[in-house]
């Protein structure tokens, strides 16, 4: 085991969590100002977008698209900055729901069927499964809606593919998709891995 010793860090005068948060808040404000300016520039000349997306200081087209959404108030500026899975899921929700969720900072996640069976999880720390449970395309599910969602998932059939539909799996270049329970021998697994590598 190798132990890496980091050099000592010297904080600058004024370095603090509060100062960092203030600077970050200024970044959000500047993103909004830049987004609104971009919208005005595009309204005056639609070619400005292609100009901004090319040349030595090119801005990637997805960034331009996010900024335009910020300007039209369909994307909260914090969502334009953070690419965590929960923020990506929130991007399709109405702006008022995005803003409320970001302001609150956490969500309540149902863990069982009882009234008190929920936990509070920071928005940025939601697991993939919690994201599916809590965030719908139209916004955040209430605790009752989450319970109903969990019941519907538990009642859903495990496989929509009939047993006589051929192979219980599909091999692609990206990986292996298994459609229904299957037991594979070591030789079959090795053959699948070889097939994946050959694609």
Neighbours of 180 (CB within 10 A): 15
Which of 81, 109, 124 is at the close of a domain?
Answer: 81
pLDDT at res. 9: 85
In a domain, 10, yes or no: no
User: Considering only CA atoms, which of 110, 75, 70, 113 is closest in space to residue 96?
Assistant: 75
In a domain, 137, yes or no: no
DSSP summary character for residue 110? E
User: Considering only CA atoms, which of 122, 73, 125, 64 is closest in space to residue 98?
Assistant: 73
pLDDT at res. 157: 57
109: phi then psi, degrees, rounded to nearest 5: -115, 120
The DSSP code sequence of 4-65 is PPPPP--PPTT-SHHHHHHHHHHHHHHHHHHHHHHHHHHHH-TTHHHHHTSSTT---HHHHH
State how far the Cα of 166 lies from the Cα of 89, in Å rounded to an integer. Answer: 34
pTM for this entry: 0.65
In a domain, 41, yes or no: yes
State how far the Cα of 53 lies from the Cα of 114, in Å rounded to an integer. Answer: 52
State how far the Cα of 160 lies from the Cα of 76, in Å rounded to an integer. Answer: 37
Domains held by the chain: number? 2
Which of 62, 81, 100 is at the close of a domain?
Answer: 81
In a domain, 50, yes or no: yes
pLDDT at res. 197: 78
In a domain, 70, yes or no: yes
- Positions of the chain with pLDDT under 70: 1, 156-167, 173, 179-180, 199
- E-strand stretches of 141-190: 169-171, 176-178
The domain in which residue 192 lies consists of: 169-198
Which of 26, 53, 81 is at the close of a domain?
Answer: 81
């Amino acid at each position: 085991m190798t132990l890496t010793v980091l050099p000592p860090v010297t904080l600058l005068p004024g370095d603090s969590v509060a100062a960092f948060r203030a600077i970050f808040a200024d970044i959000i404000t500047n993103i909004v100002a830049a987004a609104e300016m971009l919208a005005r520039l595009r309204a005056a000349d639609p070619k400005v977008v292609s100009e901004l997306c090319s040349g030595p200081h090119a801005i990637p087209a997805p960034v331009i698209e996010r900024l335009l959404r910020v300007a039209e108030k369909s994307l909260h500026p914090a969502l334009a900055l953070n690419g965590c899975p929960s923020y990506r899921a929130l991007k399709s929700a109405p702006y008022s729901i995005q803003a409320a969720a970001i302001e609150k900072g956490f969500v309540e996640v149902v863990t069982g069927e009882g009234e008190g069976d929920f936990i509070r999880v920071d928005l940025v720390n939601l697991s993939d499964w919690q994201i599916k449970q809590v965030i719908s395309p139209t916004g955040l599910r209430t605790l009752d809606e989450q319970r109903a969602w969990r019941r519907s998932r538990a009642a859903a059939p495990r496989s929509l593919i009939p047993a006589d539909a051929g192979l219980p799996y599909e091999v692609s270049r990206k990986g292996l998709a298994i459609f229904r329970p299957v037991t594979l021998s070591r030789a079959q697994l090795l053959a699948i891995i070889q097939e994946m590598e050959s694609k």
